[in-house]
Structure 1
Amino acid sequence: MRCEIRHTTEYHYPEPAWDSFNQVRLHPAREVRQSVRSFHLQVEPEAEITSHKDYFGAIVHHVHVHEPHRYLKIEAQAIVDTHAVTMPAPSPFSVLREVRARNTEFLVSSPRVPGGDWPEIFGVARPRPGDDLPTFLMDLTTRLNRQFSYDTKATAVNTPLAEFAQHGRGVCQDFTHAMLGITRQLGIPSRYVSGYLYSGGDMLGAEATHAWAECLIPEYGWLGYDPTNNCLAGEKHIKIGHGREYGDVSPVRGTYFGGGRGKLDVEVRVYGEQ
């Protein structure tokens, strides 16, 4: 599927701001499931832009605006080809023993996905060694989708996972953190994915950057699961990068001097064609 993405972030300040430093993670990933035809980052006013790859392999741009300004616009444009997902063969839970030692960073707790009895908190029965791993993960995706409601006003970026579990309403970030909390406690290496979603009007979470989980299935690799939409991450999912949680892959964040209390506007548009 050919996808064209336009992601615009605008800051408006009541007073002049200066020395604005921004860390931008908007460059789509290059991997087996997708290829990047083009990427362009445009900044107003004129800015110094550098880039590097982070610990997890994502391309990160650094945008530095030295001069005083009341307005900052960061617009990323990309064209990406996504490819169909192949289904994994049956695989028992017992094979996870072979991969845990090499993937501890996606098993340990983190600020937004702390340790805890998350399977019990979310009412998920612990699997047996002989149970099929891909089947369990898809069933878990469906369970979270049906158990919780998508509500863009219910949570904020720092809402604790325990609060989402209690109130049962949130956004894709919350659904994904919940899945990570459960799977990691069960010994399944799992990572948080930030990206885009082409919905065509029939999927949730396309109005901004989207989030889903990738879980490691031995002898297959990493496979994406989207509990917000009860599906695998397929051709409509465009990956930017992955990490332990949202904080590792937040799209745009930064600091500045002066400016007063600024206003932030974000617009994401994804166009797709088969």
Structure 2
Amino acid sequence: MRLTVDHVTRYAYDHPVRSVVQSHRLSPSVFAGQKVIDWEVTVTGGVKGAQHRDGAGDLVQGWTIAGPVSEIAVAVRGTVETTDLAGVLRGHRETVPPDCYLRETTPTRADVALVTLARSASGEDLLQLAHALSAAVSDAIAYRPGVTHAHTTAAEALALGEGVCQDHAHALIAVARIRGIPARYVSGYLSASADGSAHEAAHAWAELHVPGLGWVGFDPANRACPDDRYIRLGSGFDAQDAAPIRGIARGAAVEVMDVTVAVLQTAQ
């Protein structure tokens, strides 16, 4: 499938700041399931800095915006050809050992309810257990935008019984780690939801490490494994660690962020 992305993130400051420094994970991952046809990231007033590929295989690009800065637009536009690999991250090069992703973080910290949910799932092997854990999270947390926020933890989302893709991913990571399965957060794009309706925002899911297969993606929000509707950008321990854009502004100001994303299927 050939997918086009038009993604703009705008930052506005109520008072001009002296400068802004950003770190981007906005380049599609290099693996057998996707091939970049064209891809461009632009930043209004921005100057490109150093770039490197980190231990998880993600390309990290630095940007500097000299002040005074009142508004910034980060625009991502491009086309990617995708292949359905049934969620398996085949051909992806990284140096971080999977066991590093057994580490607990604040958003994925387990409580009694998460431990109970993790223990409720079963499978004849680790792959079946991973599918069962993803299904358990789907059943326990209904998809509902607006009830959680950027800092909601997996435990809080489970207590609410509602959340968005970030909450589903954090909860799946938490229950997988409880069962001794390395798990990580993945950021990217989705062209449509499971029922074929448009998916408005950038998306997130989880990857669990299964011996013999490697990293396998699970999307509890859509009860699916990532297929050719997905574009993978990068990964991390949780949403903050895997954020496509991270940055800091020099100066005292209130920042307001607005994001628009369109992902469409185009003819080959």
TM-score range, shorter chain: 0.7 to 0.9
Percent same amino acid among aligned pairs? Answer: 29
Distance in 2 (CA, whole Å) between partners of 1:84 and 1:148 is 26
In the alignment, structure 2 segments of 5+ residues that lack a partner are 89-96
Over 3 Å counting, the alpha-carbon distance change for 1:178 and 1:159 in structure 2 is same
Distance in 1 (CA, whole Å) between partners of 2:67 and 2:29 is 32
Q: Which residue identity lines up with residue 14 of structure 1 in the other structure?
A: D
Q: Is the 8 A contact 1:22 1:252 kept in 2?
A: yes
Give CA-to-partner distance per residue, 1:132-162, whole Å, 9 cap, x none: 3322322332232232211221111111222
Q: 2:102 aligns with which of 107, 111, 117?
A: 107
Residue 124 of structure 1, CA deviation = 4.1
Indicate the residue corresponding to 1:84 in structure 2. 84
Give CA-to-partner distance per residue, 1:53-107, whole Å, 9 cap, x none: 223121112111113121211111121111112488xxxxxxxxxxxxx522111
Distance in 1 (CA, whole Å) between partners of 2:45 and 2:134 is 43
Indicate the residue corresponding to 2:218 in structure 1. 225
Distance in 1 (CA, whole Å) between partners of 2:28 and 2:56 is 13
Q: 1:133 aligns with which of 102, 106, 126?
A: 126
Over 3 Å counting, the alpha-carbon distance change for 1:200 and 1:151 in structure 2 is closer
Indicate the residue corresponding to 2:178 in structure 1. 185
User: SS where residue 76 of structure 1 aligns?
Assistant: strand
Residue 26 of structure 1, CA deviation = 1.1
Indicate the residue corresponding to 2:73 in structure 1. 73
Over 3 Å counting, the alpha-carbon distance change for 1:46 and 1:222 in structure 2 is closer
In the alignment, is residue 151 of structure 1 matched against residue 144 of structure 2?
A: yes
Residue 116 of structure 1, CA deviation = 4.5
Indicate the residue corresponding to 1:247 in structure 2. 240
Over 3 Å counting, the alpha-carbon distance change for 1:182 and 1:155 in structure 2 is same
Distance in 2 (CA, whole Å) between partners of 1:105 and 1:204 is 36
Q: Which residue identity lines up with residue 106 of structure 1 in the other structure?
A: Y
Structure showing greater radius of gyration is 1
In the alignment, structure 1 segments of 5+ residues that lack a partner are 89-101
Q: Which residue identity lines up with residue 10 of structure 2 in the other structure?
A: E
User: SS where residue 153 of structure 1 aligns?
Assistant: coil
User: SS where residue 182 of structure 1 aligns?
Assistant: helix
Q: TM-score, normalised by structure 2?
A: 0.87
Root mean square deviation of aligned Cα: 2.5
Residues 33-52 of structure 1 aligned to structure 2 (within 5 Å) = 33-52=33-52
Number of equivalenced pairs: 260
Residue 121 of structure 1, CA deviation = 3.5
Q: Is the 8 A contact 1:18 1:259 kept in 2?
A: no
Q: TM-score, normalised by structure 1?
A: 0.86
